[in-house]
């Protein structure tokens, strides 16, 4: 492409903004009969940001997406797009691009006709449509595929075409509803990175829905973890992974050791069996109150003879699970509680067997207190 | 626009969700009005004629006069014959269609669909040619010396039954075929594997599984039979009077609207009784479509 | 024993095939028999025909009564198809997509014309249209035929809509189309096979219908009424020629429907 100044629609080439109003959802409630699908959700997505709604099925993330898209009207609360109230606006009037779970490419239209559809609806001229469709196809790396029908494309290609259709009209918001669910693992990882790259390049404000926490960690600027129609925690991937707000979030964000403990002082607590554990300090409650202690599987290390750690225990291996590059060990510690660790195969040598004795330890900072409610 | 939307919001009514339902109701309205005006209303008006005189005399006539009781009884009897013959002919054919290999399935279905979609009048005419005293069948039988005198096949009950079975057989085959196609062949192998002999596999496994189709087919054929008009009128030669033929002649020849209306009520009652009776017996889904 | 070492066809299978063969023969015989009859040179029902000719086709084409009846039936069937397809498709949308009180009742009403015997409906419609002086008017027959065709359309289109993934329509709406435009541009093209089948059912149900047309037609005969009268009175092989033309027409339509439609089975 030449570097000559271009006169075409500038929506796409606008520099990504990282502040200002993108999407705001305030106090949204949606009930279906007696079931509360959304129980008062507040959410703000900054311009140019990709925010992920993460949660198990039935947590309300899809309903929230439908409210944002205009397919559902909330019983209470409002939706603002770019500062405008769109709570009751028809989906067609919202200027939102959406990628559906199974792509929803119109099977009776070619890829080019599919991508042209939103432009046609906006009464863009024929010539401009052709140019913008070609452009969109290039952006998603599908040049020359315009005349094919959706069923003649592979899953990944359909995915890209659906993405092109959703962004070709320069929407002020992009919604992605579990778009990678139908792809195999390898393709999924590739598409995740591609979508993320494109979103950042075009500076698109995006809301992404998934139940896969790994996907959420890879793709997001911020993640909203949803539980039973509410946002359980909103934060950066690092925040959420390392400092889960509660037991539910901790459990949902990947495998970990989560132990119920009783506070005994600042930064100390005792677990089942009486062992005292030290964790990253933080005011979590008065002595004697219940607390959850979160320890990620990869944090504990095998201690050499004489090596010390804030938490150090001897124990024996009770179970070995090979995962290829890493190995999981379930270890019963002598004070009477169990932890699971995951160590690189090379490091542990793959040599530990059930019944082997060892010492494990971890720092106070490796252990996060989590509200036990 | 923003201001208006913000103002409307204070009402807090989900009016667009509601509007979607209004839209659905508007989609429904034209056809519904059409059916109310051109179907339900005239039918109800006709039925009401039967009691218009303020007396139940037409009903008394229909239900006690030996002549008319005989017609009602004949109608039900013919419908029962037709249903039974259709089931006997159709069950094996449906089994064949559901289990045969291509191209036999397609060929078989064409052999059922083609006559099905051919005008009843064409078929009735063809049967008259085939069944008449000098018809194709009698000629063939006489010439081969199998019979000495022509068989009476037309203008009697035999002719009516043959014609009706021909028209209604597809209505038996389609629901049976639909049900049989969903029967998992693994179940039959499993039953055989458990040591059940063929007859027992059929009686204990296949027949119960296909019973819904049997009920649907029998209901459909019976209901359509009792209202039959063209075939008995043409193939019965005036000797086989079914209720629909009676109703027609009451209106056409005698202008006896009240009596025709009473007969209509009886016919409709019989129809609905069979329809809902069998539906209840079988808890719901008749395979209409 | 067959060469593969497995037992040959069991007796019950042979019996099954023989039985099916007989039934198929029974079903097809009337359709086949009209072909030689229509090419007969004899004015009487003779089988096999003493000689061959096209005279009955010529007689059909030259008889204005037959041609009038045919054209009238085509006009009525086409109008019925349009009316029933439009109304029935809208009703199917309403029934599948809508949520409103009384929907179950509406559903019952829409299927009732299939259950109420044709003779009852015919005399009911006769008394209605006699009152508004529409007996003999072809449009009255269209209305009566549409009553019977609408349930077919509702069943076929409704079944297609029930399995249709509404996400396509939502996608169209999110891309800027209103509800109606989304239905027109995205949903209807995708359920086209069902629409083709529904139109076929509507067309044939009208084109072959006798009883309603007999009561509402007055002296303006449709093709089935003309055939009915011929069979009753002056039976000559012209009707065989007409029958052959009808069998050929239905065969052609069936080919079209199996190519572009969703099947031609009214039930099951």
pLDDT digits over A177-230, tens only? 999 988 888 889 999 999 999 999 999 999 999 999 989 999 999 999 999 999
What is the predicted pLDDT for the residue at C8? Answer: 64
Region A251-256: mean pLDDT is 83
The CATH number of whichever domain residue C124 belongs to comes to 1.10.3720.10
Domain residue spans of chain B: 14-50, 57-287
Q: How far from A303 is each of A221, A329, A367, CA to CA, in Å?
A: 36, 15, 17
Q: How far is C109 from chain A (nearest CA, A)?
A: 28
Residue C191: pLDDT over 80: yes
B285: nearest CA partner in chain C: C268
Q: What is the DSSP letter of A287?
A: T
Residue C79: pLDDT over 70: yes
Q: CB-based burial of residue C227 (10 Å sphere; 0-12 exposed, 13-18 middle, 19+ buried)?
A: buried
Q: Give the containing element (helix H, strand E) for A41.
A: strand A35-46
Q: What's the fold here for domain B57-287?
A: MetI-like fold (1.10.3720)
When scoring A108, A129, A173 by the number of chain C Cβ atoms within 10 A, the one with the most, hence best to mutate, is: A108
C153: nearest CA partner in chain B: B289
For C193: left if phi > 0, alpha if psi spans -120 to 50, otherwise beta; the answer is alpha
Region B131-160: mean pLDDT is 88
Region C118-132: mean pLDDT is 93
Domains of chain A: 5-242 (3.40.50.300), 255-370 (2.40.50.100)
Q: Give contacts of A72 with chain B, Cβ < 8 Å.
A: 17
The pLDDT confidence band at residue C76, using thresholds 50, 70 and 90, is: very high
Residue A322: pLDDT over 90: no
A50-54 and A222-227: which strand pairing?
A: parallel
Q: What are the pLDDT digits (tens) for B224-246? A: 999 999 899 889 888 888 999 99
In a domain, C68, yes or no: no
Q: Do A76 and A28 touch, CB atoms closer than 8 A? A: yes
Distance linking the first and last C-alpha atoms of chain A: 57
Q: Do A269 and A277 touch, CB atoms closer than 8 A? A: yes
The pLDDT confidence band at residue A272, using thresholds 50, 70 and 90, is: confident
Residue B90: pLDDT over 50: yes
What is the predicted pLDDT for the residue at B15? Answer: 43
When scoring C123, C142, C145, C245 by the number of chain B Cβ atoms within 10 A, the one with the most, hence best to mutate, is: C123
What is the predicted pLDDT for the residue at B195? Answer: 73
Residues C231 and B128: their CA atoms lie apart, in Å, by: 9
Partner-chain contact C254 B113, CB within 8 Å: yes
The pLDDT confidence band at residue A25, using thresholds 50, 70 and 90, is: very high
In a domain, C147, yes or no: yes
In a domain, C63, yes or no: no
Region A77-92: mean pLDDT is 90
The proportion of chain A whose per-residue pLDDT surpasses 90, expressed as a percent, equals 53
Residue C164: pLDDT over 60: yes
Residues C4 and C11: their CA atoms lie apart, in Å, by: 18
Q: Do B166 and B90 touch, CB atoms closer than 8 A? A: no
In a domain, C5, yes or no: no
Q: Please, which chains are in contact with A (at least 3 CB pairs closer than 8 A)? A: B, C
Residue A159: pLDDT over 80: yes
The model carries a pTM of 0.82
Q: Is C248 on the interface with B (CB under 8 A)?
A: no
**C positions 184-223 inside 8 Å of A (CB):** 185-186, 189-190, 192
- The secondary structure of A301-360 as a DSSP string is EEPPTT---SEEEEEEEEEEEE-SSEEEEEEEETTS-EEEEEEEHHHHTT---TT-EEEE
* Interface predicted TM-score of the whole assembly (ipTM), two decimals: 0.88
Residue A21: pLDDT over 80: no
Q: Do C36 and C238 touch, CB atoms closer than 8 A? A: no
Q: Do C74 and C228 touch, CB atoms closer than 8 A? A: no
Q: How far from B168 is each of A131, B46, C34, C114, CA to CA, in Å?
A: 60, 27, 20, 14
Domain span including residue C83: 76-260
- Taking each helix axis from N to C end, the angle separating B257-281 and B207-226, rounded to the nearest 10 degrees, works out to 180
Candidates C171, C181, C190; nearest CB to A100: C171
Residues C125 and C129: their CA atoms lie apart, in Å, by: 6
Residues B262 and B94: their CA atoms lie apart, in Å, by: 39
What is the predicted pLDDT for the residue at B283? Answer: 55
Question: Which single residue is written with the structure tokens 């066809």?
Answer: C9
Q: How many CA atoms lie within 13 A of B220 on its CB side?
A: 28
SS3 content of chain B, % helix, strand, coil (to 5): 75, 0, 25
A96-99 and A173-177: which strand pairing?
A: parallel
Residues B254 and A38: their CA atoms lie apart, in Å, by: 69
* Cα radius of gyration (chain C): 23
3-state secondary structure of B224: helix
Q: Retrieve residue A137's tokens.
A: 């196809």
**What integer best gives the mean pLDDT of chain A?**
87
What is the predicted pLDDT for the residue at B56? Answer: 84
Give the rounded distance of the alpha carbon of B283 from its chain centre. 19
3-state secondary structure of A95: coil
Residues A326 and A298: their CA atoms lie apart, in Å, by: 10
Q: Please, which chains are in contact with C (at least 3 CB pairs closer than 8 A)? A: A, B
Q: Give contacts of C166 with chain A, Cβ < 8 Å.
A: none
User: Over the range C47-67, which residues count as b (16 or more CB within 10 Å of their CB) and which as e?
Assistant: bebeeeeebbbebbeeeeebe
Partner-chain contact A169 C176, CB within 8 Å: yes
What is the predicted pLDDT for the residue at B18? Answer: 65
User: Over the range C204-225, which residues count as b (16 or more CB within 10 Å of their CB) and which as e?
Assistant: bbbbbbbbbbbbbbbebbbbbb
Residues A171 and C175: their CA atoms lie apart, in Å, by: 9
What is the predicted pLDDT for the residue at B239? Answer: 85
Nearest to B275 by CA among C114, C115, C119: C115
Residue C144: pLDDT over 80: yes
**What integer best gives the mean pLDDT of chain C?**
88
Count of domains observed in chain C: 1
Q: What are the pLDDT digits (tens) for C235-246? A: 778 888 999 999
Region C80-84: mean pLDDT is 97
């Amino acid at each position: 492409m030449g570097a000559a100044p271009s006169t075409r629609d500038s929506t796409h080439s606008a520099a990504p903004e990282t502040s200002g109003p993108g999407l705001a959802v305030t106090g949204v409630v949606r009930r279906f009969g007696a079931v509360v699908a959304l129980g008062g959700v507040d959410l703000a997505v900054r311009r140019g940001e990709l925010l992920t709604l993460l949660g198990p099925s039935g947590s309300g993330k899809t309903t929230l997406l439908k409210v944002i898209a205009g397919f559902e009207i909330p019983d209470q609360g409002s939706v603002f797009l770019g500062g405008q109230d769109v709570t009751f606006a028809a989906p067609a009037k919202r200027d939102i691009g959406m990628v559906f779970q199974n792509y929803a490419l119109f099977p009776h239209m070619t890829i080019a006709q599919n991508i042209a559809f939103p432009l046609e609806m906006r009464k863009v001229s024929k010539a401009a449509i052709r140019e913008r469709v070609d452009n969109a196809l290039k952006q998603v790396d599908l040049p020359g595929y315009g005349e094919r029908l959706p069923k003649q494309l592979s899953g990944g290609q359909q995915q890209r075409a659906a993405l092109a259709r959703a962004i070709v009209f320069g929407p002020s918001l992009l919604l992605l509803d579990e778009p990678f669910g139908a792809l195999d693992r390898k393709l999924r990882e590739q598409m995740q990175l591609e979508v993320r790259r494109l979103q950042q390049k075009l500076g698109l404000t995006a809301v992404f829905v998934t139940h896969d926490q790994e996907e959420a960690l890879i793709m997001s600027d911020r993640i909203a973890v949803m539980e039973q129609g509410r946002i359980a925690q909103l934060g950066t991937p690092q925040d959420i992974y390392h400092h889960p707000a509660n037991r539910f979030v901790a459990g949902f964000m990947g495998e970990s050791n989560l132990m119920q403990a009783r506070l005994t002082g600042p930064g100390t607590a005792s677990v089942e069996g009486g062992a005292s554990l030290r964790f990253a300090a933080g005011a979590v409650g008065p002595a004697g109150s219940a607390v959850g202690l979160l320890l990620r599987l990869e944090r504990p290390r095998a201690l050499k003879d004489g090596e010390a750690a804030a938490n150090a225990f001897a124990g024996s291996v009770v179970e070995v699970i090979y995962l290829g590059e890493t190995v999981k060990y379930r270890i019963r510690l002598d004070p009477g509680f169990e932890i699971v660790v995951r160590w690189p195969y090379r490091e542990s040598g793959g040599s530990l067997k059930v019944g082997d004795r060892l010492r494990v330890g971890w720092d106070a900072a490796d252990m996060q207190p989590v509200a036990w409610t | 626009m923003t201001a208006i939307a913000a103002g409307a919001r204070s009402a807090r009514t989900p009016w667009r969700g509601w509007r979607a339902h209004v839209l659905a109701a508007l989609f429904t309205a034209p056809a519904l009005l059409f059916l109310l005006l051109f179907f339900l209303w005239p039918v109800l008006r006709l039925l009401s004629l039967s009691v218009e005189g303020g007396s139940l005399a037409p009903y008394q006539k229909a239900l006690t006069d030996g002549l008319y009781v005989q017609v009602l009884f004949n109608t039900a009897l013919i419908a029962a014959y037709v249903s039974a013959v259709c089931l006997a002919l159709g069950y094996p054919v449906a089994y064949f269609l559901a289990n045969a290999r291509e191209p036999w399935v397609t060929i078989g279905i064409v052999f059922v669909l083609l006559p099905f979609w051919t005008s009843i009048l064409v078929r009735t005419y063809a049967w008259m040619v085939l069944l008449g005293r000098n018809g194709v069948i009698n000629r063939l039988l006489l010439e081969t010396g199998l019979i000495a005198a022509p068989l009476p096949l037309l203008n009697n009950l035999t002719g009516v039954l043959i014609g009706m079975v021909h028209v209604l057989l597809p209505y038996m085959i389609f629901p049976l075929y639909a049900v049989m196609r969903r029967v998992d062949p693994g179940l039959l192998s499993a039953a055989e594997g458990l040591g059940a002999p063929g007859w027992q596999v059929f009686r204990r496994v296949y027949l119960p599984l296909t019973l819904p189709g049997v009920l649907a087919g029998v209901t459909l054929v019976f209901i359509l039979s009792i209202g039959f008009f063209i075939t008995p009128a043409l193939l019965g030669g005036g000797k086989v009077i079914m209720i629909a033929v009676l109703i027609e002649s009451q209106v056409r020849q005698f202008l006896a609207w009240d009596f025709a209306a009473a007969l209509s009520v009886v016919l409709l009652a019989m129809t609905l009784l069979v329809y809902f009776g069998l539906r209840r017996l079988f808890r719901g889904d008749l395979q209409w479509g | 024993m067959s060469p593969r070492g497995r037992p040959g066809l069991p007796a019950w299978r042979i019996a099954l095939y023989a039985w099916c063969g007989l039934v198929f023969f029974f079903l097809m015989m009337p359709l086949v028999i009209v072909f030689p009859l229509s090419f007969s040179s004899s004015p009487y029902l003779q089988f096999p025909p003493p000689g061959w000719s096209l005279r009955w086709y010529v007689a059909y084409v030259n008889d204005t009564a037959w041609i009038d009846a045919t054209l009238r039936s085509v006009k009525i069937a086409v109008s019925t198809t349009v009316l029933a397809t439009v109304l029935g498709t809208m009703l199917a949308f309403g029934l599948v997509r809508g949520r409103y009180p009384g929907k179950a009742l509406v559903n019952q009403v829409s299927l009732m014309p299939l259950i109420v015997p044709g003779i009852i409906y015919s005399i009911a419609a006769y008394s209605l249209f006699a009152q508004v002086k529409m007996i003999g008017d072809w449009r009255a027959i269209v209305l009566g035929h549409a009553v019977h065709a609408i349930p077919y359309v509702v069943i076929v289109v409704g079944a297609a809509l029930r399995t249709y993934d509404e996400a396509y329509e939502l996608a169209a709406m999110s891309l800027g189309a209103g509800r109606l435009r989304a239905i027109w541009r995205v949903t209807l093209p995708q359920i086209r096979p069902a629409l083709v089948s529904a139109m076929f059912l509507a067309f044939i149900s009208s084109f072959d219908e006798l009883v309603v047309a007999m009561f509402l037609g007055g002296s303006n005969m449709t093709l089935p009424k003309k055939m009915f009268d011929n069979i009753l009175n002056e039976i000559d092989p012209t009707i065989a020629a007409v029958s052959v033309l009808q069998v050929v027409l239905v065969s052609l339509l069936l080919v079209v429907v199996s190519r572009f439609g969703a099947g031609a089975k009214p039930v099951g």
